Structures are given as structure tokens and as C-alpha cells.
Structure 1
Amino acid sequence: MKRLFRILIIGLSTLALAACSQIATDANSLFVSELTEKEDAILSIASDKSFVFDFHIDSEYKEASVWIEKYEAGKLVDDRLAHLTTEVEQSGSIIVTLSENTNENNNSFNIGVGTDENLTSINVSDTDLIGLESMASVWGSTSEKVAIDNGEAVLANISYSDDENGMHSLTTDFFEDAAGHMNELEKYDVAYLLKVEFVK
């Protein structure tokens, strides 16, 4: 699985970087990558849920940190469930996939950051889950271009609940101002937030 994820990162990063060189974009920003049908198919085969983002930064930025926070009923229980810090260059991609193993009640996350010169990835499992097989899930990501010079940003979420009344995705307001809308996480039994920060 790790080898498949590494190949997937290299392939998607190469395609994303090639596409990025043809598109004029604002510096110091991050946005959801526009994937081809083939790239979507590869991600669907290799994982249950996935997120791909492209970034463009000034040379003053040297590192990117990507991590996953875990919440239970709105309370932070792990602020670094998965954490990756790596050197970055002016453009690249962030790829995050989730493979769910409901029989064993665990989630396996792969995080990768790729640029022209560097590829870094990690695989982390959350084995502290009970009743995952009986929960419904929703997931989503920011739909806006994210300015990376504002500090840490929430890029995506995956949330689980066994609420019989159904569940809704996080609001757009949450991604724009997570600190002011943390109460939205209280309606989920388990919620994961994908965060990023670029460092000079």
C-alpha cells in the first residue's frame, strides 16, 4: 500500500506540476487541484476518500507542515494524529488519502507533499475507533483559494456520526474561520481536520 501511495504521489505531482506551469496563478496560495478522470479513478481505487491540493509560494517560504487533528464530540483528542513537515519549493502538491477498515475499526491516512525536487510521505493509522462500521460519514474541503500567509488553515474534513437524523457537511464559514465555528464539530462522534501551514 505504501508503494502504491508513493507511485500515486509521484504521478499526481508530476501531472499537477505540469498543469501548474501552464496556468497563471497568484503566488502564496493553495487551491483544490483539478484532476483528470484518470487521476480520479486512480485515487478511487487506491483509497476510500482523497484530497489533492496544489500550491504556489514565494521563495521566502521554506517548509510546509501538514497534519491531521482528531475530535470526538467537538473535543480535541489528538492534535497531531498524523504530522509531516518537509522542505518545499515554489510549486507543488499536497495529497491526502484515507483507507477505512471497518472490520478492524481503524482508519489509515497517507499524506504526501511533492515538488519538482522533493517527495515526502507518511502513513499513519488511527486504531482508537469503536463502532466505525455503524457510522455514516461526510467529507469536504475548502472550495476557495487559500492565502497561505495567514498562518495555519483547515483544508478538509472527514466526519463520522451514528445520528439517526442524518448529518450535514461543515459550512463554508467553518473553512473561512475555523476558530469561530468549532462548535460545528460537536454534532459528530469523530471528526478529522486536515490542516496546513507554510513556514518562512
Structure 2
Amino acid sequence: MRKILFFTILTLLVFSLIACDNGNTNLKANTISETKLTEREQAILTTTANQSFIFDFNVDDKYKNVDLWVEKYESGKLVGKVNDISTEIKNKGTIIFTTSNTIEESNQALFTISVHNDGSTAAGSNQETVPKDYLSIVSGSNPLDNASITDQMILASICYSSSEDEVSTLSSDFYRDADKHMDELKDYEVVYLLRSEFK
């Protein structure tokens, strides 16, 4: 029942985002931007998801598909994919990544990724066991604003740490060139990265 309610609210939010157009009407071709949410949209997301990340993209005929996947790292080492989808795209669209607890006070989370484009939505979700004994969780997103689409972009991150020291989000350098900054992931017990590839 909770999954049905979550997907219903997520679908309503997607249509709300599309209807409002979120001020991203100036997206250039083959670019992606972090979506600027209204206060109402933020309130809706807060009641349905623990973490949420939303991006708008605009592509020309050069790009026909987008692949999205969430990678899981433990102590800096890639252990696999949590979730992935692939869908056809055309013109403008929206990418949404959310997590929510499946049962209150449990360490089970539902990871959902979706793409709304050309009047349809492609979505995938997967239940994941997240760390139970973490002291802090930090999340961040690529500070995109009309950024040119590149190969295998990292769009968002969720990092779990059991360190008693202050923990910060991944650096903006990490999002710009992850290969050179992968050592940042060693500071966390578990990291989830949302990646995209436009083809």
C-alpha cells in the first residue's frame, strides 16, 4: 500500500513539475540543470521521500536515449548497481531520484529513479538495505546549471558515515571529474551515486 501511495504522489509531483516548468525554459540544447523547486513542491517531496534530487534536461536529435543507474560503494570500492533504467528521450525532460523508508524505523529503503519525457514516464525502483549504525548521512547533487551533457555524469550522492568527526558532502571537484577524486568515497562506509549517460 505504501508503494502505491508513494508512486501516486511521485506521479502527481512529476506532472506538477512539468506544468510549472520550474523556470528552466532557458535550457540550451544538450544541457542539464538541477531543478529549482517551488516551496509547495519541496513540501510534497518532504512528505513522500527521505532524499530527493530532480534535474531538467534538453536534448536535440543527437541524443535518443538516457541510461540512469545508482552505484553502491563500500569504503570506496564499487560493489554493484542498486537500480538502473534505460529509456528513449526527445527534447525536454525531467530526471527524478528519490529514497524513502519502506517501513518506519527500519534500515530498508526504496530507491526510485524515473525519467519523464514526451508525455510518458519510465521508472524503476529497488529495495535496498542501508547502513543501520551510521552516525551521519550527507547528500549532495551536481551543481548543474545549463551544463553541457557529458559521458556518464554523476548527478547525485548519498553518503553514510559512522565517523564521530564532522562529515561533509562530496566536493564539487568530485562531480566535475570523479575519476580523479574517487578517493573521497573512502571517507564513508557506504555511498550511493546516481549516474546518467545520454546516448
Fold in common (TM above 0.5)? yes
Q: What does 1:1-200 align with in structure 2 at a 5 Å threshold?
A: 1-18=2-19, 19=21, 23-78=25-80, 80-100=81-101, 103-127=105-129, 129-130=130-131, 132-145=132-145, 146-148=147-149, 150-199=150-199
Post-superposition Cα deviations, 1:4-25, rounded to whole Å, max 9, x if no partner, equal 3433443333333341687222
Runs of 4+ in 1 over 4 A off after TM superposition: none
| Percentage identity across paired residues of the two chains | 36
Post-superposition Cα deviations, 1:32-66, rounded to whole Å, max 9, x if no partner, equal 11111111111100011100111100123111111
| 8 Å Cα contact 2:22-2:36 kept in structure 1 | no
Amino acid paired to 2:198 = F
Amino acid paired to 2:93 = G
Amino acid paired to 2:114 = G
Instruction: Give the SS at the match of 2:11.
Output: helix
Instruction: Give the SS at the match of 1:60.
Output: coil
Structure 2 residues not aligned, in runs of 5+:
none
Instruction: Quote the Cα distance in structure 1 between the aligned partners of 2:35 and 2:44.
Output: 15
Amino acid paired to 1:90 = N
Instruction: Quote the Cα distance in structure 2 between the aligned partners of 1:2 and 1:62.
Output: 30
Instruction: Quote the Cα distance in structure 2 between the aligned partners of 1:177 and 1:61.
Output: 22
Structure 1 residues not aligned, in runs of 5+:
none
Instruction: Quote the Cα distance in structure 2 between the aligned partners of 1:75 and 1:22.
Output: 36
Amino acid paired to 1:14 = F
Aligned residues: 195
RMSD between aligned alpha carbons? 1.9
Instruction: Quote the Cα distance in structure 2 between the aligned partners of 1:2 and 1:53.
Output: 23
In structure 2, relative to structure 1, the CA distance for the partners of 1:22 and 1:162 (3 Å cut) is closer
In structure 2, relative to structure 1, the CA distance for the partners of 1:66 and 1:5 (3 Å cut) is farther
Post-superposition Cα deviations, 1:109-141, rounded to whole Å, max 9, x if no partner, equal 0111101322111110113x45x2443100000
| 8 Å Cα contact 1:103-1:133 kept in structure 2 | no
Q: CA deviation at 1:198?
A: 0.7
